[in-house]
Amino acid sequence: MEEKKTYQPIGIFDSGFGGLTVLKEIVSELPQYDYIYLGDSARAPYGSRSFETVYEYALECVEHLFNMGCHLVVLACNTASAKALRTIQQKDLPKIAPSKRVLGVIRPTTEIIGKHSKTGHVGVLGTQGTVNSESYLVEIEKFFPELKVYQQACPMWVPLIENSEFDNEGAEFFIKKYVDELMAQQKNIDAVILACTHYPLIQDKIKKYLPKNVDLLSQGSIVAKGLKDYLQRHPEIEKECSKNKLLNFYTTDLPETFDKAASLFYGEIVKSQHLDL
């Protein structure tokens, strides 16, 4: 009997480009699967938008990814994970796709952060939206109630990165400013989460302004390992993910514009297609 050919890629969603830093690590950890990356770059950034708007946009994109064959979707965006994930998982999935799953990027990081701190003081650098949502405070409390968490919003970092201005003097000013503001809250912070998928691009510059003993955690590899572990623990979901090593990129904006910035984030040439919402 001829084997049924299936295309059920894992969907990786982000407001724009940042999720590509996560996709890269996921593909490297789990190269056997098919992936669709969807960047809602026409409506990015999400970081300064309201709960309602981020939820509405994220849900719309998740539904598109389901329609494109995905059984499992990762919200590779902290802002969307903070503001939309819980509602999608608890309210929408049971109605629209009870056997499908949507995961985020916050939990895998908060599950391990305690192992990286000796002082018990940890920092979170994120967008205004992620910080205001207090999702990191709530999630870390579940796994490591003894930890003290200090948050710092860094609203200038995403625009500086997206406009390729992060190698300039002006960028140094804003990188130092937010790092200093975080450390001024508590000088004994010894572990810091990069709670925005854009920030790995300026990781070395952030490190420069942090005390030497501070462990700076970038999410890509943590999320990739978390996904591997999830697929091992959930064979019923794993068997719904097709394995032909196909990788397709979609943007809600112009593919030419997306591809230019996307290649910088992904570290390889990206050729995307337009998706009409």
Q: What's the closest the beta carbon of residue 253 comes to ligand DGL, in angstroms?
A: 13
Choose the catalytic residue: 70, 154, 196, 241: 196
Q: Which residue lies nearest ligand DGL, judged by its C-beta?
A: 47
Q: Which helix (H) or strand (E) holds 39?
A: strand 35-39
Q: Which helix (H) or strand (E) holds 247?
A: strand 247-251
Q: With respect to ligand DGL, which residue has the nearer C-beta, 37 or 241?
A: 37
- Rounded to the nearest angstrom, the gap between the alpha carbon of residue 165 and the centroid of all alpha carbons in its chain is 21
**Interface with ligand DGL by CB under 6 A: which residues?**
14-16, 18, 44-47, 77-79, 127, 130, 158, 196-198
Q: Are 149 and 136 in contact (CB under 8 A)?
A: yes
* All residues at 6 or more sequence positions from 163 whose CB lies less than 8 Å from its CB, including other chains: none
- Catalytic residue check, 70: no
Q: With respect to ligand DGL, which residue has the nearer C-beta, 47 or 108?
A: 47
Q: What's the closest the beta carbon of residue 104 comes to ligand DGL, in angstroms?
A: 10
- Catalytic residue check, 61: no
Judging by beta carbons within 10 Å of its beta carbon (0-12, 13-18, 19+), is residue 4 exposed, middle or buried?
Answer: exposed
Choose the catalytic residue: 70, 77, 154, 241: 77
In three-state secondary structure terms, 163 is coil
Q: What's the closest the beta carbon of residue 174 comes to ligand DGL, in angstroms?
A: 15
Q: With respect to ligand DGL, which residue has the nearer C-beta, 44 or 241?
A: 44
Q: Catalytic residue positions?
A: 77, 196
